[in-house]
Structure 1
Amino acid sequence: MNATEFQQHIGKIKHAVQGSAFSNANQLLSQLKSKDLNASQHVEVLYLTAVTCRLSGDYLAASHHLNTLLNMRPDYGRAHQELAYNYDALNKPKEAASALFTATHYNPALISSWKKLLTVYRKHNDKDAEQLALQQLEYLESLPAPILGAYDLMYEKKLASAEQICRQFLLKNKHHPEAMLLLAELGIQLKVYHDAEFLLESCSTLYPDNLRAIITYLSLLAKLGKHQKVLEIAEMQRERFTDNLQIIMAKANALLGLNKTAEAIAIYDDLLAKEKDRPAVWLALGHAYKSKGKTDKAIFAYQQAAYYHPQFGDAYWSLANLKSYRFDDKEVSRMLELEQQPSIGLDDRIHVCFAIGKALEDMKRYDDAFSYYNRGNQFKLASVQFDITRTEQAVESQIAVSSKQDFNRESTGFPSPEPIFIVGMPRAGSTLLEQILASQGDIDGTMELHNILSLASSISNQQKPYPFCLNELTFEQRYNLGKQYIEQTKYYRGNAPFFIDKMPNNFMHIGFIKQILPNAKIIDARRDPMDCCFSNFKQLFGDGQEFSYGLEEIGRYFEAYAKLMRHWDKVYPGQILRVTHEEVLDDLALQVKRMLDYIGVPFDSACLDFYNTERLIKTPSAEQVRQPINRSGQDRWKPFEAHLSPLLKRFK
């Protein structure tokens, strides 16, 4: 059902409900349910059905519809608020209070829920919680009505509507700080990072005392891998916001991102010496030790994070994500109990589900393991609202643009031969290839850099969005973009003549890369599709890779990736080196020689002993690439074969 027709129908239902014409509302809802609705439309219909049932006095039916809805969208704040109203009507105050707390967790803009919670906190003489509720209410009530409404829409994942309201408000109220912050947050969620960065830089400059703007700005810069800039701003802001934990952590995390691990660890240690009960600091310390290969210290730090915050899902997943860590029976029982607790947040539950899946797989309880992997993936997919058709459309756009006659012009871009891009699917062996190549003295390993995505975003415009604007770039623009990339990435490398950027998603931007850096080398890391796709399904990524949370989505993503790579092979014949994981396992020396010859550096036997190379590694494969070549990752999908029909129908 198209969006306009759907909203017209929804408007009639809301009008009927407001007029207490519940029979008419139910009739209109029944008509809608017979239509072909997408997931978000189905959620809205279920919500209005529940509201109508409650107002009609049918509380059992309302609860049924809300439970169905929350199974689809467990982070739908208004549904939890509606559940609280329903519990109130059924005289279940304890359940109502719990639902209100959950509602404000997922949608902090719900004034009605905060007011009801305030009453609960006062009744129980909970002064700290009362103060928090009062502060949030004061903040929400200070917001202009359109901005409050837009925040509500954003938290309920109606991003386009929220953006429209926010932009209209800014036209009349230029440089309003809350509107600028909201529009930036929407830009981040929509992955329009260049616009969001500009807004946050402007807001923090115009309002230097706005701590929220500064923290959000630092967070985005970190997300984009601009760690040097984070470091500079954090240092400057320390003078204004003395001892602010978020700014101190931003500095430490930036140091970690710049491979200054010892300095980062010193800051984490100092924070923990002052106060042990800081789970997020323990977690960051664990990540730092993991990147250095100090597994025992990483385990201790993650365990401390879980000790101080027993519902901290990321602490359990970080232990599982070490790959070599094995949970004992007591830990598994604790996680199983934790996952069932009603009070656990969605993000923590997702992390715990993936950790349980890994623990049960290690115990060879494959059906149970799949159940928890699948549960975590379903929750995650619902929360990110990923649509695989957008990726498929993006691939078609890249093909269409790069098929034009004037696309691959001669003498274009910045001529540096320094970058080596390793692209492909995540979990395809790219970290292993980087570790092998970084063992050669002329090549620096770095990390998954965000710079190409950021630069691509920066050239997009309303008249010709990326990638359709590529053919409009002048020689000067291409040259400057390539030069900018080299300058931006110098903070992550040493003094070697070449360096690696192993952001796998850059396969989507090979056309852009070759336009701005025509002499860059590109290696496509390829792995057996069943092994690769199932490995993605089991992996909970720190950020991005939203395609990986559903078997159907993963399979279609792999097909889209393979299709685009076939196209790039035609556009740039002989310029992209494909290295398959299985061939590396079969003959490491041959594949090392192929890669080094392609890059143009001499053979180095250290590449064969790559596991002895000491360097920071920040991907899920960190421990695995510190071991000699082995086949432990092959055919790991086979014990789960009965559950993998969406992949088997494509690849077997």
Structure 2
Amino acid sequence: MSIRDREALLRAALAGVPEYHAARFELAMLLLQQQNHAAARAEAETLLTHQPDHRDTLKLFGVTCIGMGDYEPVIDLYERLAGAPQSPAELADLRLWRANALKITGRTDEAIADYRAALAARPDQAVAWFSLANLKTYRFTDAEIAAMRAAEARPGIHPMDRVYLGFALGKAFEDRADFAESWAFYARGNALRRASATYRPEVAEACAARIAEICTADFFAERTGWGVADAAPLFVLGLPRSGSTLVEQILASHPQVEGTQELTEISRYARALCGADPACGLPLHPEALARLTAADARALGERFLAETRTYRRLGRPFFIDKMPNNFWHIGLIQLILPRATIIDIRRDPTACGFSNFKQLFGTNNQEFSYSIDDVARHTRVYLGLMRHWDAVLPGRVLQVSYENLVAELEGGVRQMLAHAGLPFDPACLAFHETRRSVRTPSSEQVRRPIDHAGLDQWRNYAPWLAPLRAALSED
């Protein structure tokens, strides 16, 4: 039975028996699977009016809040649940989840305390060790490194726990300038994670070729005037770890712009229109874009503006969608939102590639990053597709160099604001003072002034990155 059929059956059951709580809980879970967080949250809230202390429903509500980027409520919620844990394992999870929310909202010291509390409740919770490393600012003690090394070497450890510990130890030894040991752990963690990944570079290469074949200059010229002429959305895209969180933080510091998060709406529309390759989740049939009508494009543009309204809590006229992978969907964005701003943030390919290689991403995100060969091929696909968009939609996308932005902040800020049709505001130069939730791995960095130190970190690993640099020099 399809998800849609299951949803229809559950809604029919609830129409007849609204107090059928098990069905409502299942419906909320189903909506979560479809990333419809607002609707899932509404169902959870209905359940809580009848069962205000139901633990599973409270946890469900917490997940829906996180999906909507609303972290403040879950901090108190998880504290409440942790007050009467049902087991040490549950306590460890609750402390971990609360720590993640504290990190995202900028309460770093409290987050560290909760990560440590999670480890006190369950010392073998490898994800808590990784989460401390993923703060980027935490420095492990000798005793902590010894504990992680012992856990990572333990026979019978779950493969994903070994991955978490590999990345955590890689960061620990990087901070100590022991780059050979650091690389060994990064490489080990990546190899294990790559073994379970479904990403295939040849699929991405074929997808980019099909998109370029369909989305020509004539294709767009014939569809001039389509979509919704609303300039509110600002799309920040590119490769992960390229500086997009910095750009988002700068723009979100402007009084007319609201930062949201990495929104999934555009990719969901693309999947519904074009299907999704089972290995990579990329558009399976980009030619479906040619079957869109002007009415379809306008409806999708209106739908995007309506569905993203739930993430906009400040009432500002502009908002940011910082999903890096939207570089695949610039053609769709052009059709449905022709006045939206698009900014492509670029970083030195080797620096960006290494930054991806040493970053463990959540769930199945960015699976190209766990192999040097995959990183190189994916980077070349991205660069080639961006050249295509620049050729068929000249001037549509503003390319921003991360290195130039770090070197000359004000000039880069003025360039981005001008491209978005916004007046200059000095608050954008003091971006690190802006208080907002940031859920990416760069959350701690963008709460500090510009730091030049990270530009050449990859050079510490130059002997091991020679194959990546050679592969990227061919592009």
Task: Tell me by how many angstroms 1:212 deviates.
Answer: 8.7
Q: Secondary structure at the match of 2:146?
A: helix
Aligned length: 454
1:472 aligns with 2:291: yes
Task: Write the mapping of 1:183-582 to structure 2, written as runs, cut at 5 A.
Answer: 196=3, 198-202=4-8, 204-205=10-11, 209=22, 213-214=26-27, 216-221=29-34, 224=35, 226-238=36-48, 243-275=53-85, 277=88, 278-403=91-216, 405-408=218-221, 409-460=223-274, 466-493=285-312, 494-543=314-363, 544-582=365-403
Task: Tell me by how many angstroms 1:641 deviates.
Answer: 1.4
Give 1:201's aligned amino acid: E
Answer whether contact 1:238 1:244 (CA < 8 A) is retained: yes
Answer whether contact 1:203 1:213 (CA < 8 A) is retained: no
Answer whether contact 1:401 1:407 (CA < 8 A) is retained: no
Q: Which moved more, 1:242-251 or 1:394-403?
A: 242-251
Answer whether contact 2:24 2:43 (CA < 8 A) is retained: no
Per-residue CA deviation, residues 399-455 of structure 1 (Å, 9 max, x unaligned), is: 011027334411101111100000100000000001001111011111100110111
Measure, in 1, the Cα distance between the counterparts of 2:10 and 2:192.
Answer: 35
Identity %: 38
Measure, in 2, the Cα distance between the counterparts of 1:548 and 1:252.
Answer: 29
Measure, in 2, the Cα distance between the counterparts of 1:606 and 1:249.
Answer: 37
Q: Secondary structure at the match of 2:455?
A: coil
Q: Residues 243, 346 of structure 1: CA spacing in aligned structure 2 closer, same or farther, 3 A cutoff?
A: farther
Task: Tell me by how many angstroms 1:331 deviates.
Answer: 0.5
Measure, in 2, the Cα distance between the counterparts of 1:397 and 1:423.
Answer: 20
With normalisation by structure 2, the TM-score equals: 0.91
Task: Write the mapping of 1:566-605 to structure 2, written as runs, cut at 5 A.
Answer: 566-605=387-426
Residue among 603, 611, 618 paired with 2:439 = 618
Higher alpha-carbon Rg: 1
Q: Residues 407, 574 of structure 1: CA spacing in aligned structure 2 closer, same or farther, 3 A cutoff?
A: closer
1:644 aligns with 2:451: no
Measure, in 2, the Cα distance between the counterparts of 1:343 and 1:204.
Answer: 41
Q: Residues 299, 200 of structure 1: CA spacing in aligned structure 2 closer, same or farther, 3 A cutoff?
A: farther
Measure, in 1, the Cα distance between the counterparts of 2:84 and 2:260.
Answer: 33
Measure, in 2, the Cα distance between the counterparts of 1:621 and 1:397.
Answer: 33
Q: Which moved more, 1:555-564 or 1:345-354?
A: 345-354
Q: Residues 252, 216 of structure 1: CA spacing in aligned structure 2 closer, same or farther, 3 A cutoff?
A: closer
Give 1:382's aligned amino acid: A
Partner of 1:127: none
Answer whether contact 1:577 1:598 (CA < 8 A) is retained: yes
Per-residue CA deviation, residues 134-181 of structure 1 (Å, 9 max, x unaligned), is: xxxxxxxxxxxxxxxxxxxxxxxxxxxxxxxxxxxxxxxxxxxxxx3x
Task: Tell me by how many angstroms 1:237 deviates.
Answer: 3.8
Per-residue CA deviation, residues 221-266 of structure 1 (Å, 9 max, x unaligned), is: 4xx3x32122112223446777553432221132234343332212
Measure, in 1, the Cα distance between the counterparts of 2:24 and 2:123.
Answer: 29
Q: Residues 246, 200 of structure 1: CA spacing in aligned structure 2 closer, same or farther, 3 A cutoff?
A: farther
Per-residue CA deviation, residues 496-528 of structure 1 (Å, 9 max, x unaligned), is: 111000000000000001011111110001000
Measure, in 2, the Cα distance between the counterparts of 1:288 and 1:528.
Answer: 31
Q: Residues 242, 202 of structure 1: CA spacing in aligned structure 2 closer, same or farther, 3 A cutoff?
A: farther
Answer whether contact 1:282 1:301 (CA < 8 A) is retained: yes
Q: Which moved more, 1:445-454 or 1:642-651?
A: 642-651
Q: Secondary structure at the match of 2:343?
A: strand
Answer whether contact 1:200 1:216 (CA < 8 A) is retained: no
Per-residue CA deviation, residues 565-610 of structure 1 (Å, 9 max, x unaligned), is: 0000011111110001001011101001001111111110011111
Give 1:497's aligned amino acid: P
Answer whether contact 2:28 2:40 (CA < 8 A) is retained: no
Q: Residues 350, 516 of structure 1: CA spacing in aligned structure 2 closer, same or farther, 3 A cutoff?
A: same
Q: Residues 477, 554 of structure 1: CA spacing in aligned structure 2 closer, same or farther, 3 A cutoff?
A: same
Q: Secondary structure at the match of 2:193?
A: helix
Unaligned runs of 5+ in 2: 14-19, 277-282
Answer whether contact 2:72 2:105 (CA < 8 A) is retained: no
Measure, in 2, the Cα distance between the counterparts of 1:246 and 1:555.
Answer: 43
Task: Tell me by how many angstroms 1:202 deviates.
Answer: 3.6
Answer whether contact 1:424 1:507 (CA < 8 A) is retained: yes
Task: Tell me by how many angstroms 1:650 deviates.
Answer: 2.2
Q: Secondary structure at the match of 2:219?
A: coil
Partner of 1:122: none
Partner of 1:81: none
Measure, in 2, the Cα distance between the counterparts of 1:541 and 1:360.
Answer: 20
Answer whether contact 2:347 2:402 (CA < 8 A) is retained: yes
Answer whether contact 2:95 2:118 (CA < 8 A) is retained: yes
Answer whether contact 1:523 1:576 (CA < 8 A) is retained: yes
Q: Secondary structure at the match of 1:364?
A: coil
Q: Which moved more, 1:530-539 or 1:390-399?
A: 390-399
CA RMSD for the aligned pairs? 2.1
Q: Secondary structure at the match of 1:637?
A: helix
Measure, in 2, the Cα distance between the counterparts of 1:237 and 1:522.
Answer: 40
Measure, in 1, the Cα distance between the counterparts of 2:123 and 2:191.
Answer: 23
Q: Residues 261, 333 of structure 1: CA spacing in aligned structure 2 closer, same or farther, 3 A cutoff?
A: same
Measure, in 2, the Cα distance between the counterparts of 1:292 and 1:542.
Answer: 18
Task: Tell me by how many angstroms 1:465 deviates.
Answer: 5.4
Measure, in 2, the Cα distance between the counterparts of 1:212 and 1:556.
Answer: 43
Unaligned runs of 5+ in 1: 1-179, 185-195
Task: Tell me by how many angstroms 1:281 deviates.
Answer: 1.3
Give 2:265's aligned amino acid: N
Measure, in 1, the Cα distance between the counterparts of 2:54 and 2:156.
Answer: 29
Q: Secondary structure at the match of 1:541?
A: coil
Measure, in 2, the Cα distance between the counterparts of 1:357 and 1:263.
Answer: 33
Partner of 1:164: none
Answer whether contact 1:417 1:520 (CA < 8 A) is retained: yes
Measure, in 2, the Cα distance between the counterparts of 1:421 and 1:536.
Answer: 21
With normalisation by structure 1, the TM-score equals: 0.67
Q: Residues 211, 229 of structure 1: CA spacing in aligned structure 2 closer, same or farther, 3 A cutoff?
A: closer
Measure, in 1, the Cα distance between the counterparts of 2:253 and 2:284.
Answer: 40
